[in-house]
Amino acid sequence: MAYPLPPASIQAFTERNLHLEELARWARAEPGVPSLLAADLNITPFAPGFRRFIDMSGLQDGRLGRGLLASWPSFFRAPLRVPIDHVLSGPGLKLAHLAAGPDIGSDHLPLIAEFRSQAGPIIVGSVKLNRQGESHGRQRQ
């Protein structure tokens, strides 16, 4: 599961960034194996930390060329929403479709994505960090 903390304090900001660094290492762990990360990362695509995460991870931002797709909070009108939910993919996966879905009762709108695998298995995993920023395991299928 990927859920970096919202940056509500200096400590949470630091922990979120450590979590993003761990996710970037996870994405780079097996070069050539398709990987996909769809998560509330609590960071906008405009933040310097997001650009750093993209550069470190090698993942591609699914929003590129598809608009803002702001998803949080769902109870605000579109111009007031923030794009903190992301669909990111690595080599070997081709994003065929990405759109914000309808309000389903969550405080986030869902992002609906359709991918085409170009080759091989897809990595599914989770990374959890403790308060010291240490990894608590990784799952791969």
Residue 93 lies in a domain: yes
Residue 63 lies in a domain: yes
Residue 5 lies in a domain: no
pLDDT at 106: 95
pLDDT at 3: 84
The predicted model gives 83-110 an average pLDDT of: 93
Does residue 138 carry a pLDDT above 60?
no
Confidence of residue 65 (pLDDT cuts 50, 70, 90): very high
Residue 71: which residues within 8 A CB-CB, separation 6 or more? 81, 82, 83, 84, 85, 100, 108, 109, 110, 111
Q: What is the CATH number of the domain that holds 56?
A: 3.60.10.10
Residue 2 lies in a domain: no
Rounded to two decimals, the pTM is: 0.81
Residue 53 lies in a domain: yes
CA distance linking residue 90 with residue 120, whole number of Å: 12
Contact (CB, 8 A) for 37 and 53: no
pLDDT at 140: 40
Query: What DSSP line would sit under 67-126, residue for residue?
Result: -----B-TTS-GGG-B--EEEEE-TTEEEEEEEE----SSSSPPEEEEEEE-SSPPB---
Residue 3 lies in a domain: no
Residue 87 lies in a domain: yes
Length of the chain: 141
Residue 18 lies in a domain: yes
Domain, as residue range, for 42: 10-138
- Provide the token pair at 109: 């709108």
Does residue 72 carry a pLDDT above 70?
yes
Does residue 39 carry a pLDDT above 80?
yes
Task: Count up the domains in the chain and report the number.
Answer: 1
Cα R_g (the chain), whole angstroms: 15
Does residue 97 carry a pLDDT above 80?
yes
